[in-house]
Structure 1
């Protein structure tokens, strides 16, 4: 087996391993009735995950000290949050976030 064939098999294997855990739950959930309480709980999960990721990047953890603010992300998050409040359109939020981060890195770093 040549290096090219081996690399292709590794890439395909990684793709399958990544894809399966994301698809199998959808297949299983279609055949099961989920109670309304569980569905309401699950509706909050994406918001919780996004908030955790946002706060994790916004704060810099230092051992033995209070967390500090990552000003690069803080300044980029202001127009992004405003775009989210005003437009409520995910495409605009992402585009404005990318532009805000690029401008922040260009002018402040």
Structure 2
């Protein structure tokens, strides 16, 4: 098998480009003690990113805002969201979401 140097350099470059934005902030922030308000602000980043990813997947279908009547994912997301609030467990939330979605897909194939 022949090694193509252009492909190898693209892979190395992509690795460096993805490595630098992850490691540099970690190295800088590990040496600095952030104020309390900064730590509180950083606690909201993961849930904000997750909410943005999930809401786009659930609420938008074919480039249009979808409604409850034609969106099984949105119908399954409502009880899953309530379970997430109640249990605060990622495992229980994911399992309940999958189960709700599977159940709704099964029900609507019979209708």
Same structural fold, with TM-score higher than 0.5 when normalized by the shorter chain = yes
1:68 is matched with which residue? 66
Unmatched segments (≥5 aa) in structure 2: none
Please give the root-mean-square deviation of Cα atoms over the aligned residues, in Å. 3.1
CA shift, 1:94, in A, is 2.0
Partner of 1:56: 56
Moved more, 50-59 or 11-20: 11-20
Matching of residues 1-109 of structure 1 within 5 Å: 2-3=2-3, 10-11=10-11, 13-60=13-60, 61-62=63-64, 67-69=65-67, 71-108=71-108
Q: Against the structure 1 CA distance between its residues 7 and 76, is the aligned structure 2 distance closer, same or farther, given a 3 Å change threshold?
A: farther
Q: 1:17-74 CA distances to partner (integer Å, 9 max, x unpaired)?
A: 3333222211110111212222222222222222222322222243xxxx32361221
SS in 1 for 2:53: helix
Residues in 2 aligned to 1:36 and 1:30: alpha-carbon distance in whole angstroms: 15
**Unaligned residue ranges in structure 1 (runs of 5+):** none
Bigger shift: residues 94-103 or 29-38: 94-103
